[in-house]
Amino acid sequence: MENYFALHMDRRQVDAVSSLGLAHMGDGVFELLVRAWLCSHGRTKAGNLHRETVAYVSAPAQSRFVERLEPLLTPEEEAIYHRGRNAHVHGVPKNATPREYARATGLECLFGHLYLEGKTERINQLFVTVMEELYGI
Ordered per-residue pLDDT tens for the chain, 137 residues = 888 888 889 999 999 999 999 999 999 999 999 999 998 888 777 778 888 888 899 999 999 999 999 999 999 999 999 999 999 888 888 889 999 999 999 999 999 999 999 999 999 999 999 988 887 76
The catalytic residue among 27, 77, 100, 108 is 27
> Kindly report the CA angle at 72 between 67 and 77, in degrees rounded to 5?
95
Give residue 36's pLDDT. Answer: 92
Give residue 75's pLDDT. Answer: 97
Give residue 88's pLDDT. Answer: 85
Give residue 32's pLDDT. Answer: 95
**What span, in angstroms and rounded, lies between the C-alpha atoms of 73 and 80?**
10
Give residue 26's pLDDT. Answer: 97
Give residue 27's pLDDT. Answer: 96
**What span, in angstroms and rounded, lies between the C-alpha atoms of 50 and 78?**
30
Question: pLDDT per residue over 94-131, tens digit each?
Answer: 889 999 999 999 999 999 999 999 999 999 999 999 98
**What span, in angstroms and rounded, lies between the C-alpha atoms of 39 and 6?**
21
Give residue 129's pLDDT. Answer: 92
Determine the distance from the C-alpha atom of residue 9 to the mean position of all C-alpha atoms in its chain, rounded to a whole number: 18
**What span, in angstroms and rounded, lies between the C-alpha atoms of 33 and 53?**
10
> Kindly report the CA angle at 135 between 31 and 47, in degrees rounded to 5?
55
Give residue 137's pLDDT. Answer: 60
Q: Is 27 a catalytic residue?
A: yes
**Of 101, 75, 76, 97, which is closest to residue 87 (Cα–Cα)?**
101
Element (H, E) at 5: none
Give residue 5's pLDDT. Answer: 87
Residue 109: count other Cβ atoms within 10 Å of its Cβ: 29
CB contact at 8 A, 107 and 26 = yes
